[in-house]
Amino acid sequence: MSFLGIYVFVGIDSESTGMTACEEQYYEECNLADLWVQGSGFSLDSLTYVKSVPGMKQAERRLQVDGKAIVRDKTSGEEEVSMQMNFVESNEISKLYLLEGEPYKAGRGGVYLDYFFSEKRGYKVGDTITLKLESTRFDVKVAGIFHNPEYVYYLEDVAAMMPDYGAYGFCFLDESEYPFEEIIYNQIIVDAEKIDNTAQVSDTEKEIQSQLAAQIKDVLDDQSIVVTGKDDQLSYQTYRSEMAQHKSMAFAFPIVFVLISLLGIITTMTRLMAKQRVQIGTMKALGFSTADVVMHYISYGFVLSLAGCVLGAVVGYYTLPDFIISMFVGSYILPYMHKGLSLMSLSMIAMMVSVSTLITFVACRKECALIPAQALRPAAPKVMKTSFVERSRVWKLLSFSTQWNLRDIIRNKMRTLMGIVGVVGCSMLLFSAFGCLDSIDHITTWMYGELNTAKNRIVLAEDIDYGTASDYAKQYGGQMIQSVAISLSPDEGVSSGISAGSASMGTSASTGSSASMGTSASTGSSASMGGGVISKTGTLTVLDRGNFMHYEDADMEHITLDKNEIAMTYKMAESLGVKEGSLVCWHVLGDDKIHKFRVGQIYRNPSVQGITMYREPYEKLNYKFVPTEILTNMTVPSSLADKDEIIGVQNTNAMMDSLKSMMEMMYTMAGILIAAAIILGVVVLYNLGVLSMVEKRREMATLKVLGYATSGVRAILAQQNTWITLIGIVLGFPAGFGILGVLFNDMPESMDYSIVVYPKTYLYTFVLTFLISWAVNRVMSREVKFIDMVEALKGQE
């Protein structure tokens, strides 16, 4: 039992400890940025102003833009794939982790390709690759292959559920490779003095981020820029949430094993001391003192528990972490992944050995305190008082077997409790394993069967004109949708100079005219976005006419969005601390107009967090509707992606296939939990069964003397086992829900996954737990046949 408990604890804890250390080391080596300042254009003066802010260590400009790579394809000759390009003038912040090639140097040409893209597409250092920005192609020599700390987790677009590294890519280029005359930088990345890359972003560091964000906006005299911290960056946030889940698992699951292991040790030592009664009496009769005998048995418990813990720690450290880490190789991009031993594991070993030793002392103290004459004689039967249940009228209405089992349960409460706890642990693990699979399976059908019912998605280029997009929509009978990057903040972040009007969404501050969708203010007016607050970035989804997008509220009930209101995702509302009817401010990244609106509805979306509105009110805010995608149920030829105005064509089935890696991972984890649950159930219930047979040996012999056949006695034992199993299973269901809650509460802000448990999970959990309990009881009750009735019934001599 010591081996099993420590094996699971050290295995899972070592994985989360090692992977967290890998991340922190990687971020430190590459000096991950602390703040990202995003706007429409930053001059050299802008960079100087940002560097002048107190608390700044370093700052750099860069242009981050989505383009394409023209890659070699064996069938079609060439293929255009998405490529996010970063044009930089220096690289001291979020530095490249170079795998091949020459280190980056300002002014030196060439392109640095991410490892997975170069590996899948067959590019090596020295090759030439053709890149495409807007409609301009340019050839660049591959200068290096790299990883980057900002791309530990990277999705092609916000609608993607799982990464498919190599199918798209990202690269870094010196500003000299920019194919146009003038480069306009849209980002400044910042390295702050009092913010490090170890552990999570603390409350103190968040306060520093908030203060720096306000100061940056002030020195640039532009309240429309967006300043985000590491917690708002998808890569950092997703990996941190993953590690938080693993730490939760490292606490929740192993603690269950450790606690139940301790119960097993209690039963084992209690049974051992009962069987060693004569040996104890013999040793004391031979002159051994009580202290000598106690130390003998304490050393027995100490050595065995220590050996089990050490062996469990060694085997757990060298097997389980490597297995878990191997499942995350394709999900996260890290230059190194390894396990690590934490002080928590060592503390748990010390605690397990100490508690086991203490349990041994408590178990042997009473027996060792007996004088030799008492210890050499069989233990006298316990003197039991008649319980309230036995004195009630109902008692006489019960069958003999029911009365016998109730009396045994009442008189052996601790053994019964341990049996229930063992069954609870088994059913809890089974329930959480099957529940995880149900929840992940639901995400697939929810995303691509309920919320988005289109079979194909045509992704449009940024520079496409509306007429061309409209023609494609008519040709394929599709619904046009525009996705825009925005920044949001609660109303407290905006000065009171703008007030919501009597209309549902406010009035225009700049013109005073009625506007159904929000208040607008130009930069320099009394409105200011998030004075001391780092705003949340999200996506504004603008809907044209069509019926491919559907929505559900927080309770997963279907709703129809009001065409005159703005709706917000549940996860974004939770992050901002707002509810339906609350006032929230938003603005398009790079735009100087700030809008205040009242949240009309809240809906759920598993992958895209932000707000949604219809096209008409969007255009009333003086924005031009420029579709970024078209949803359609018609067949779309893959050759359409070769056109300049089309980035790609995505099929729903293909997107669902991208979730298979997640499902495979979950099936593996579920398999581990199911195996652990079976082992736990068998070991605990077997130990309790052995203890029960020892304690009830006299009673069972009495039943056989009174005429009960072996099968009848076994039936009585099976009845009590059934009661305990049923109680344990019923209590295991809510305990399993609690485990699922721990896992799903650590999801990143960009993901909104809900716990869904299908009826089959209850059935599988019930059947498997019951089969385990029945099988163990079946094996143990066979001992009834071999009871020596004379030895069991003889009294004290």
Q: Would residue 703 count as lying in a domain?
A: yes
- Same domain for 563 and 617, yes or no, is yes
Which residues are within 8 A (CB) of 212 and not within 5 positions of it... i.e. 6 or more apart?
A: 35, 53, 55, 56, 190, 192, 227
- Same domain for 65 and 175, yes or no, is yes
Q: Give residue-wise pLDDT tens across range 194-236.
A: 898 887 888 888 889 888 988 998 999 887 788 888 888 888 9
Dihedrals phi, psi of 748, to nearest 5 degrees: -65, 160
Amino acid 532: pLDDT: 46
Domain boundary among 380, 395, 427: 380
- Same domain for 172 and 292, yes or no, is no
Q: Which of 262, 373, 273, 261 is nearest to 694 (CA)?
A: 273
Q: Which of 492, 490, 536, 484 is nearest to 213 (CA)?
A: 536
Q: Would residue 389 count as lying in a domain?
A: no
Amino acid 149: pLDDT: 95
Q: The tokens of 701 are what?
A: 């012999």
- For residue 637, with 0-12 CB atoms within 10 Å meaning exposed, 13-18 middle and 19 or more buried, which class applies? exposed
- Same domain for 587 and 612, yes or no, is yes
Q: What residue ranges in 627-759 does DSSP mark as E strands?
A: 629-632, 646-651
pLDDT at 166 over 70: yes
Boundaries of domain holding 661: 407-450+655-797
3-state secondary structure of 191: strand
Q: Which of 783, 761, 11, 98 is nearest to 440 (CA)?
A: 761
- Same domain for 15 and 137, yes or no, is no
- Same domain for 254 and 320, yes or no, is yes
d(CA 797, CA 794): 8
**With bands split at pLDDT 50, 70 and 90, how would you rate the model's confidence at 753?**
confident
Q: Give residue-wise pLDDT tens across range 118-164.
A: 999 999 999 999 998 888 899 999 999 999 999 999 887 766 667 88
The pTM (predicted TM-score) of the whole model is 0.74
**Helix 413-445 crosses helix 759-780 at what angle (to 10 degrees)?**
150
Q: Give residue-wise pLDDT tens across range 475-485.
A: 999 999 999 88
- Same domain for 245 and 98, yes or no, is no
**With bands split at pLDDT 50, 70 and 90, how would you rate the model's confidence at 659?**
low
pLDDT at 534 over 70: no
**With bands split at pLDDT 50, 70 and 90, how would you rate the model's confidence at 250?**
low
pLDDT at 279 over 50: yes
pLDDT at 499 over 60: no
> What length does the chain have?
797
Mean pLDDT of the chain: 83
Q: Would residue 391 count as lying in a domain?
A: no
Most confident stretch, 50-64, 655-669, 670-684: 50-64
- Same domain for 41 and 167, yes or no, is yes
pLDDT at 492 over 70: no
**With bands split at pLDDT 50, 70 and 90, how would you rate the model's confidence at 683?**
confident
d(CA 530, CA 624): 26
Dihedrals phi, psi of 613, to nearest 5 degrees: -145, 170
Q: Looking up tokens 């064996």, which residue turns up?
A: 74
**With bands split at pLDDT 50, 70 and 90, how would you rate the model's confidence at 516?**
very low
pLDDT at 188 over 90: yes
Dihedrals phi, psi of 146, to nearest 5 degrees: -150, 170
- Same domain for 659 and 757, yes or no, is yes
Q: Would residue 413 count as lying in a domain?
A: yes
Q: The tokens of 190 are what?
A: 């910042």
Q: Would residue 65 count as lying in a domain?
A: yes
Share of the chain above pLDDT 90, in %: 31
d(CA 520, CA 510): 6
Residues 109-121 have a mean pLDDT of: 93
- Same domain for 701 and 782, yes or no, is yes
- Same domain for 175 and 313, yes or no, is no
CA distances for 518 relative to 201, 526, 585, angstroms: 33, 16, 9
Q: Would residue 125 count as lying in a domain?
A: yes
**With bands split at pLDDT 50, 70 and 90, how would you rate the model's confidence at 518?**
very low
- Same domain for 119 and 47, yes or no, is yes
Residues 506-534 have a mean pLDDT of: 37
d(CA 763, CA 441): 17
DSSP per residue over 93-157, as a string?
A: SS--EEEEEPPP-TT---EEEEHHHHHHHT--TT-EEEEEETTEEEEEEEEEEEE-GGGSS--SS
Q: Would residue 217 count as lying in a domain?
A: no
Sign of CA dihedral 731, 11, 359, 363: positive
Residues 393-418 have a mean pLDDT of: 84
- Counted domains in the chain: 4
pLDDT at 704 over 80: yes
Residues 544-550 have a mean pLDDT of: 91
- For residue 239, with 0-12 CB atoms within 10 Å meaning exposed, 13-18 middle and 19 or more buried, which class applies? buried
Residues 593-616 have a mean pLDDT of: 90
Bridge pairing between strands 610-614 and 629-632: unpaired
pLDDT at 289 over 50: yes
Q: Would residue 467 count as lying in a domain?
A: yes
- Please answer whether residues 356 and 301 qualify as being in contact, where contact means their C-beta atoms are separated by less than 8 angstroms: yes
Residues 669-693 have a mean pLDDT of: 78
